[in-house]
């Protein structure tokens, strides 16, 4: 059986499943040679233009840079640097919109170009055949070269990972996607440079065979390459049928070698390494010319662009600059600018997006040229997508799982074998954007894997930290133990004792002594136990009986009150004795010297007496529940009233006047008392609890005397005031009404006087049953408590009367 290499040399080709034949639309852009787009005023360079990690920034805002100067430094094998495409000044390092399907921003370095295009240092290796593979790989990596076919995999990392494993080197020149002609024109115009780059790759990898796979729709490029290849190069140009997506790495390996790349693996797993034509050209310029990757060939195509063709565009060139320079005229209804081809490309949110290392085409179609499919409908299960899938997947199932975010099922159905060629979406009659669902699912899975990897790394770092702490702790304890053993040995050799051990022994002895001393205090422990028992009993009693027994505390409180009352009575007796002494010592001339003052005092006393009588009348009227019409107690007075309403009004007016006068009189009389009722005793309870019968009897007698005096004075004043309402009635225009009013007023006055006398007699009678009526009898009383109660009741009534009079005065 012939080997794979022999079969290839005999011209055998294989095929892959699926595939489509869309309109190529290549002739509108491959007729003119490649031109240079020029230097724009501003370049925007994303830090990440490849698969892998970003590099560390080496410049700052305001720095002047030269052409070819590195702007970032790749610290890992999956990171490649970014260089300055031309000379200028760094004006900003900030997020800008990048060429990505998400339309999100990324950190970019902005260069304000100076137009001089001044080169920096260059490192050329013209005699690369004398150099080792490792040195050439480093030169490729430091030149910032990544796969220019669209994937953007770091070339240096790809070559290094295939050393000693690659039997076959395949140069991908198929360029199968419609509209794109960048590789076609590059092979036509720079065939010698492309072949030289392939020779450098052959020198590094040393494969058994090198194959250039190119579709049969590029006859000019095929002819140009054949003219540059020599028999010594051992390079085989293999023309393959035009079929999309034959330019995919896995599909091209299948066509040229018949080998299938395993799931989620690269072509190096089957002994094959694939490099793009543009990548070979960039390797040649990096090794021989000493030029890092600063520019690339970009296809400008679509009916909306008037000057269509291929240009060398500096990395970081805004797409808007290219559109303006090559006469872009947007479609009036659906203006679109697409990066990439019509099948694998994506629409940009705006044209201010920079050219990157993986940008191979800018497509600006018109509405009729490339219809806008945006009316997604339900899947009709026609299986057309599965028939054209070049990876033998089930696009319908993957779309369902991606839409439901069932990412485990997506991986189970080999989502990552999808090359996102867009063939399934191209043939879908329901216009379902299947590739968009796949891209979104892949991005989510990548993000989750990254989070899981970060968590695992954090876990490993934490475990390593804990292990280090344990090791340090064990080592520290070992050192301490070793030092203690050494110290003990030294003390033993010197015949002394270990000071540390002795100190520890002393501390333990002190602790033991303290424990024994505590044990020697049983009395304290017993007291604590008794206290706890009492607390428990009190708590139990509190739960069973809501009212605690405070009899002992009450006895103590009563004893303190009794002592306070005795001290207060003694003080009052001393004050009274001193006042009597002062009265006897006052000269008589001083008392009789001022007759005017005596007259004024008498007048004030008479006025107060009248007011007291009026107050008594008011109280009598307030206590009377009968209406005003019933105030006239005599039949003669009632008979004289012709109009009961007017009589009632007149009676109300009379009652109000009497009430006001009585309140004023009572307030004044309470102010004139030499000894207020409140001073007789603090509270009725205090009087009742007094143990001195003489003092209690005296207080009761004084209170009764004051009550009788007030009643007699009120009665006398009421008799004096009887003429006043009569005179008022005489002055009335209506004699009947005046007579009624006078009768009512006289009746109220009499009733008030009777009520006052009755109150006075009641006050005298109440303590009779409980205490003697005279001070002498009180002194002879055998029950001091009854006398004290009587005195307290009398004082309380006096205070209540004074308080009510004061409140009525305040209301007026």
On whether 379 is known to bind a ligand per the annotation, the reply is: yes
Give the HSE-up count for residue 408: Cα atoms under 13 Å, Cβ half-sphere: 0
Task: Pick the closest to residue 372 from 433, 320, 306 (CA basis).
Answer: 433
Q: Are strands 209-215 and 235-240 parallel, antiparallel or unpaired?
A: parallel
Task: Pick the closest to residue 131 from 200, 208, 230 (CA basis).
Answer: 200
On whether 228 is known to bind a ligand per the annotation, the reply is: no
Instruction: Strand 346-347: give its sheet, edge to edge.
Output: 35-36, 309-314, 295-301, 361-363, 338-339, 346-347
Interior/surface letters 333-355, b for 16+ CB within 10 angstroms, e for the rest: eeebbbbbbbbbbeebeebebbb
CB atoms within 10 A of CB 548: 10
Do 612 and 659 form a contact (C-beta atoms < 8 A)? Answer: no
Do 346 and 440 form a contact (C-beta atoms < 8 A)? Answer: no
On whether 382 is known to bind a ligand per the annotation, the reply is: yes
| Rounded CA separation 41/352 (Å) | 13
Do 621 and 658 form a contact (C-beta atoms < 8 A)? Answer: yes
Do 312 and 297 form a contact (C-beta atoms < 8 A)? Answer: yes
Burial of 294 (0-12, 13-18, 19+ CB in 10 A): buried
| Rounded CA separation 268/259 (Å) | 11
Please give the angle made by the CA atoms of 180, 100 and 111, to the nearest 5 degrees: 95
Would you call 169 helix, strand, or coil by DSSP? strand
On whether 410 is known to bind a ligand per the annotation, the reply is: no
Residue given tokens 């005092």 in the structure block:
601
Q: For the chain, how many residues are written?
A: 812
Instruction: Strand 168-172: give its sheet, edge to edge.
Output: 235-240, 209-215, 168-172, 272-276
| Rounded CA separation 356/688 (Å) | 110
On whether 108 is known to bind a ligand per the annotation, the reply is: no
Please give the angle made by the CA atoms of 722, 726 and 729, to the nearest 5 degrees: 145
Give backbone dihedrals phi and psi of 294, rounded to 5 degrees, phi first. Answer: -115, -20
| Rounded CA separation 279/256 (Å) | 20
Give the HSE-up count for residue 495: Cα atoms under 13 Å, Cβ half-sphere: 0
> What are the distances in angstroms from CA 182 to CA 209, 278, 324, 359, 713?
26, 9, 20, 10, 133
Residue positions forming the annotated binding site for [4Fe-4S] cluster: 379, 382, 385, 389, 418, 421, 424, 428
Residue positions forming the annotated binding site: 379, 382, 385, 389, 418, 421, 424, 428
């Amino acid at each position: 059986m012939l080997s794979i290499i022999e079969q290839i040399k005999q011209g055998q080709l294989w095929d892959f499943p699926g595939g489509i034949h869309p309109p190529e639309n290549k002739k509108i852009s491959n007729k003119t040679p490649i031109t240079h787009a020029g230097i724009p005023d501003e370049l925007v360079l994303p830090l990440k233009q490849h698969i892998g990690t970003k590099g560390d920034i080496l410049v700052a805002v305001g720095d002047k840079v030269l052409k070819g100067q590195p702007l970032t430094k790749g610290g890992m094998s999956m990171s490649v640097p970014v260089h300055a495409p031309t000379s200028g000044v760094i004006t900003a390092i900030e997020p800008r919109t990048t060429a990505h399907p998400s339309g999100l921003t990324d950190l970019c370095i902005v260069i304000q170009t100076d137009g001089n295009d001044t080169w920096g240092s260059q490192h050329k290796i013209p005699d690369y055949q004398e150099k080792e593979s490792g040195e050439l790989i480093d030169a490729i990596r430091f030149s910032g070269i990544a796969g220019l076919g669209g994937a953007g995999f770091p070339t240096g990392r790809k070559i290094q990972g295939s050393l000693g494993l690659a039997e076959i080197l395949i140069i991908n020149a198929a360029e199968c996607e419609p509209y794109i002609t960048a590789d076609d024109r590059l092979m036509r115009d720079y065939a010698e440079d492309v072949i030289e780059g392939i020779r450098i790759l052959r020198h590094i990898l040393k494969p058994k065979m090198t194959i250039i796979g190119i579709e049969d729709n590029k006859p000019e490029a095929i002819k140009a390459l054949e003219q540059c290849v020599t028999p010594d190069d051992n390079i085989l140009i293999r023309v393959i049928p035009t079929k999309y997506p034959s330019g995919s790495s896995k599909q091209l390996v299948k066509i040229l070698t018949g080998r299938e790349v395993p799931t989620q693996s690269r072509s190096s797993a089957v002994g094959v390494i694939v490099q793009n034509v543009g990548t070979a050209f960039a390797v040649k310029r990096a090794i021989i010319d000493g030029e890092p990757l600063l520019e690339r060939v970009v296809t400008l195509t679509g009916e909306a662009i008037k000057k269509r063709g291929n240009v060398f565009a500096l990395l970081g060139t805004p797409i808007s600059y290219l559109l303006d320079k090559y006469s872009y005229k947007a479609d009036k209804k659906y203006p679109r600018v697409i990066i990439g081809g019509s099948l694998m490309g994506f629409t940009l949110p705006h044209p201010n997006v920079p050219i990157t290392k993986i940008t191979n085409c800018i497509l600006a179609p018109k509405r009729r040229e490339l219809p806008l499919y945006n009316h997604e409908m339900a899947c009709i299960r026609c299986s057309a997508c599965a028939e054209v899938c070049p990876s033998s997947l089930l696009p319908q199932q993957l779309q369902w799982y991606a839409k439901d975010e069932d990412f485990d099922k997506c991986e189970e159905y080999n989502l990552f074998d999808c090359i996102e060629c867009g063939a399934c979406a191209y043939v879908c009659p329901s216009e379902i954007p299947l590739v968009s669902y796949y891209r979104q699912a892949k991005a989510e899975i990548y993000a989750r894997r990254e989070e899981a990897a970060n968590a695992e790394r954090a876990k490993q770092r934490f475990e390593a930290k804990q292990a280090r702490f344990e090791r340090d702790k064990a080592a520290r304890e070992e050192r301490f133990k070793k030092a203690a053993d050494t110290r003990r040995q030294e003390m033993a050799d010197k015949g002394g004792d270990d000071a540390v051990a002795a100190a520890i022994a002393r501390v333990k002895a002190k602790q033991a002594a303290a424990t024994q001393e505590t044990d020697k205090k049983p009395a304290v422990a017993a007291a604590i136990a008794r206290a706890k028992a009492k607390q428990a009993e009190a708590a139990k009693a509190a739960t069973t009986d809501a009212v605690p027994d405070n009899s002992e505390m009450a006895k103590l409180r009563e004893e303190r009150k009794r002592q306070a009352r005795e001290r207060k009575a003694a003080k009052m007796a001393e004050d009274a004795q001193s006042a009597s002494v002062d009265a006897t010592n006052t000269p008589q001339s001083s008392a009789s010297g001022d007759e005017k003052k005596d007259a004024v005092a008498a007048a004030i006393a008479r006025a107060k007496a009248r007011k007291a009588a009026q107050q008594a009348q008011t109280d009598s009227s307030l206590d009377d529940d009968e209406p005003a019409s019933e105030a006239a107690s005599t039949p003669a007075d009632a008979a004289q009233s012709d109009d009961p309403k007017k009589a009632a009004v007149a009676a109300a007016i009379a009652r109000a006047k009497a009430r006001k006068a009585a309140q004023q009189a009572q307030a004044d009389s309470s102010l004139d008392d030499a000894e207020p009722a409140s001073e007789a005793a603090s509270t009725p309870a205090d009087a009742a609890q007094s143990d001195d019968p003489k003092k209690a009897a005296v207080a009761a007698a004084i209170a009764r005397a004051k009550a009788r005096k007030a009643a007699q004075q009120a009665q006398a004043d009421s008799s004096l005031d009887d003429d006043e309402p009569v005179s008022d009635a005489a002055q009335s225009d209506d004699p009947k009404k005046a007579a009624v009013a006078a009768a009512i007023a006289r009746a109220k006055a009499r009733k008030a006087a009777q009520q006052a006398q009755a109150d006075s007699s009641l006050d005298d009678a109440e303590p009779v049953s409980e205490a003697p009526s005279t001070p002498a009898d009180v002194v002879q009383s055998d029950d001091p408590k009854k006398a004290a109660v009587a005195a307290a009741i009398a004082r309380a009534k006096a205070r209540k009367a004074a308080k009510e009079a004061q409140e009525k005065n305040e209301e007026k």
